[in-house]
Amino acid sequence: MLKLYGIPNCDTVKKARQWLSEQGHTYVFHDFKKHGVSEEMLADWLKQIGWQKLLKKTGPTWGQLPDAVKLSITDNASASKLMLEKPNVIKRPVLEHNGKVLATGFKPNEYETLKL
């Protein structure tokens, strides 16, 4: 089963949802704002793809962090702590199939190469 994680008002998430629907893919949407982000979920994602691919360093949430906090993010554990406190720093959307992270963010050409 495909699962898409993110927040509904994010433009990138909207584009991914539209693309999946237009391609005829059914998926479950997990809204970070409504359903939250669990420590277990993050631990699994970080184990699969690492904090560098999962951390969104663009956008206002990251930009507003003090430099000391930004510099303290150096591994999965420190990134996980920040992501649990501020889910908006998770790169969106996260596309998962049967528990495996297929993609973070959305680029149509990348989604087209996935075996959905």
Burial 72-111 (b: 16+ CB within 10 A, else e): ebeebeebbebbeeebebbbbbbbbeeeebbbbbbeeeeb
Which residue in the list 10, 69, 84, 116 is annotated as catalytic?
10
Residue 10 falls in the annotated catalytic set:
yes
The residues annotated as belonging to the active site are 10
